[in-house]
Amino acid sequence: MTLLQTRNLFYLLLPLPVLFLSLFIGPAGSVAPPGVLEWFMAKLGGGIPLADAALQMVEEVIVNVRLPRVILAFLVGGALTVSGTSLQALVRNPLVAPEILGLSAGAAFGAALALTVSWLPLQPTAFAFGLAAAAFTYFLAVSRRGVSVISLVLAGIIVTGLFTALLTIVQIMNDPFKLQTIVHWTMGNLHNAAWSKVRSSILPITAGAVALICMRWRMNVLALGDEETRAVGLNPEREKLLVLVPSVLVASAAVAVAGIIGLVGLAVPHMVRMLVGPDNSKTVPASIAFGGVFLVLVDDLCRAMTSFEIPVGIFTTLIGGPFFIYLLKRAKLGFGE
C-alpha cells in the first residue's frame, strides 16, 4: 500500500520538472533561456520593476504564451493517452486509439462547420460533434445482447467515414482561405494555445481522468472478457459505459482544443505498458503522466527546432510512427501472441 502511494506520488511529481524546464524553450531568437532565468530570479527577488520593458516582455511571453501552451500540451497528451489506454482495455485490442470511435472525424467536421458558419463557437462545436460521433458509434454498435467489440470497431469505422465525407463537403464549399484554416485545424496544433483553451478543456479532462482512475482496476476485470466479468459479479455492459464515457469525454475535449494529434492515443499507451507492465491500476495513472510529458517534450522540440510553427500533430506522427514500427518489430508490446 505504501509502495502504491509512493508510486502515485512519483506520477504526480514527474511531470513538474519537465513542465518547468519547458518554459525556457521557445522559437530561436526570441525569449532565450538566460532571459527566462533572469526573469525568474527577479520574480523570486520580489517582483519586476515596471520600468524594465525587456523583463515585462519576458513576463508576457512566459505567463500568457508559454505557460498556457505547456499546460495545454500536458492536458492534451495525458487525455489522449489515458483515453487510448482505457479503450484498449475496453475493446481488448491493443491496436485501438480514441480515433477509432469516430470522435476525431466528428470533431473535425464540427470544427470545419464552426469555421464556416461564423456564429458557431469553434471549440464547443468541435467538442459536441466529437461526443455526438462517439455516441452515434455506440448506438450503432449496441444490440439487445450488449456491445460486442467487433461491432463497436466496425461502427467506429463507418461513423469516421461518414463524418470524413461530411467534412469534405464542407471543405469543397468553402473559399481557399477558410479551407486553409480548416486543414490547419485538422493537422493538430498547439501554437495558438491560450488560457481560454486551458480553461475550456481542463474541466472535462480532469473529470474524465478522475473517473478513469477510479475505474483503473476494474479495467483489468473487463479486459479478461464479458463472461469472465459477469462471472465475478460485474455487469460488463455497465462497466464498458463507465470506461467509454470518460474516455470519449477526455479525448473529445483534447481534440476540440488541439485538433487531431495523431498516434499519441495509439503509441504512447504501448510505451507506458513497456515501462510499467499491463496492469491497468498502474498504466492508467502512468498514462496521464507519461502521455502529458510526451506531448510537452514533442511540442518543445517543435518550438525549439524551427522559427516557424510545424503543427505538433505532424511531429507526433513522424516520431511516433517509426518508434511504433520499431516496437512492433521487436514484439515487445505489452500483449501476448
Partner 1 sequence: MAVVVNNLSFAYGRETVLRDVSFQAPAGKLTALLGRNGSGKSTLLKLLAGILTCPRGRIELMEQDLSVLTGAARARLVGYLPQFHQAVFSFTVEDVVLTGRAAYVTTMPASRDRDAADSAIRMVGIEHLRRRPYTELSGGERQLVMIARVLAQQPRIILLDEPLSHLDLFNQARLIGLLKRLTEAGMTVLAVLHDPNPALLFGDCIVCLRDGQVALPPAGGAPWDSVFLSEVYGLNLETVPYRGKALIAPVESEGGKQNGNA
Residues that bind partner 1 (CB under 8 A): 1, 4, 89, 92-94, 214-218, 220-221, 223-225, 227-235, 277-279, 281, 334-337
The answer to whether 293 and 74 are in contact (CB under 8 A) is: yes
Of the pair 277, 322, the CB lying nearest partner 1 is at 277
Question: What is the rounded distance in angstroms from the CA atom of residue 156 to the CA atom of residue 159?
Answer: 5
| Smallest gap from residue 150 Cβ to partner 1 (A) | 14
Name 143's bridge partners. 146
> Which residues contact residue 192 at a Cβ distance below 8 angstroms, ignoring those fewer than 6 apart?
none
Of the pair 91, 248, the CB lying nearest partner 1 is at 91
Of the pair 94, 204, the CB lying nearest partner 1 is at 94
Of the pair 48, 211, the CB lying nearest partner 1 is at 211
Burial of 126 (0-12, 13-18, 19+ CB in 10 A): buried
Helices 280-305 and 216-223, packing angle to 10 deg: 110
| Smallest gap from residue 261 Cβ to partner 1 (A) | 25
* Backbone dihedral angles phi then psi of residue 143, each to the nearest 5 degrees: -135, -175
Of the pair 112, 284, the CB lying nearest partner 1 is at 284
| Smallest gap from residue 337 Cβ to partner 1 (A) | 6
Show the cell assigned to 337: 501472441
| Smallest gap from residue 191 Cβ to partner 1 (A) | 37
| Smallest gap from residue 313 Cβ to partner 1 (A) | 28
| Smallest gap from residue 164 Cβ to partner 1 (A) | 28
In DSSP notation, 87-121 reads HHHHHT-TT--GGGGTHHHHHHHHHHHHHHSTTS-
| Three-class DSSP category at 147 | strand
| Smallest gap from residue 222 Cβ to partner 1 (A) | 9
Looking up cell 500540451 gives 73
Residues in the chain: 337
Q: Is the dihedral of CA 23, 25, 26, 31 positive or negative?
A: positive
Of the pair 175, 227, the CB lying nearest partner 1 is at 227
Of the pair 178, 218, the CB lying nearest partner 1 is at 218
